[in-house]
Amino acid sequence: MDSTLPRVAADTALYAEVLDWIHTEAELLDDLREREWLETMVSRDVTYAVPLRQTVERARGRGFSPDTFHLLETYGSLDSRVTRNETPYAWAEDPPSRIRHFVTNVRVRQSGDPDIVAVKSNLLLHRTRQDQSLPQLLSAERHDELRREDGRLMLLRRDVLLDLTVIRTHNLAIFF
């Protein structure tokens, strides 16, 4: 998110709308209502990326690869993942993971385009599978662009910047 963009104050209607959007998205994903999430909250023009993180010296930046990704998705590939989860052949997620999205530290900035807002947030994803007694915890900073389409906010771009360099989970068949 460009820090030179004007910040949206927390007591404004736009900030409240973005926060409601974030809470609704988390609820849909936590409740495994992935089809509803995709069709009502995700733009057909979406780019959804989880870049690879490397451990690098401070002088080389934060260490995210510009061209290597754990996930690099479009609407079509997201739709394929959701469709697969709706079949009896989604072995990676059958039975499904129990997921909880904790989204905090929401910062909203107005872009140069009045229909687009930039949103930065912190994510803690709590996941358990089958009879695991220890949860998998994935933390990240999300950089989102939301675009107003037909009067409602839709996810246009998401970059998930994981805090981990090594992901100790057997699959990434989840949505951040």
Compute the distance between CA of residue 111 and CA of residue 109 in angstroms, rounded to an integer: 6
**Beta bridge pairs of residue 149:** 152
CA dihedral angle for residue 157, residue 105, residue 71, residue 36, rounded to 10 degrees? -70
Go through the domains of the chain in sequence order and give each one's CATH number: 13-162 (3.10.450.50)
Task: Please tell me whether the overall predicted TM-score, pTM, comes out greater than 0.85 for this model.
Answer: yes
pLDDT tens string 6-50: 888 888 999 999 999 999 999 999 999 999 999 999 999 999 999
pLDDT tens readout for residues 128-154: 887 777 889 999 999 999 999 999 999
d(CA 176, CA 99): 10
